[in-house]
Amino acid sequence: MLVGEAIEFAKRAKDAGVDVSLHSLPEGQHNFILGARRVPEVNQAIEEIGGWLRSKLGLAALAAA
């Protein structure tokens, strides 16, 4: 998904009442996730995604494990 599409998707979801959190990396590419374990910014983004998912799924206790 390209950034413009992601922004529009997030807006439409938010307008529909969905709890939305959209963060983008200005220097990121659509396949930035492939930089996992090699690019610090990607690792940080993955940590943030994991934290968000744990909080939404009621798994916050796993963060401390």
* pLDDT bracket for residue 10 (50, 70, 90): very high
Could you give phi then psi for residue 43, rounded to 5 degrees?
-60, -45
Q: Which pTM was predicted?
A: 0.71
Helix or strand run (H / E) with residue 1? none
The tens digit of pLDDT for each residue in 11-58 reads 999 999 999 999 887 777 878 889 999 999 999 999 999 999 999 899
Q: Quick one: the chain helix, strand, coil %, rounded to 5?
A: 60, 0, 40
Model pLDDT, residue 18? 96
**Which residues, in sequence order, are CB contacts of 28 under 8 Å at separation 6+?**
41, 45
Our measurement of the distance from residue 42's CA atom to the centroid of its chain's CA atoms, rounded to an integer in Å, reads 10
* pLDDT bracket for residue 64 (50, 70, 90): low
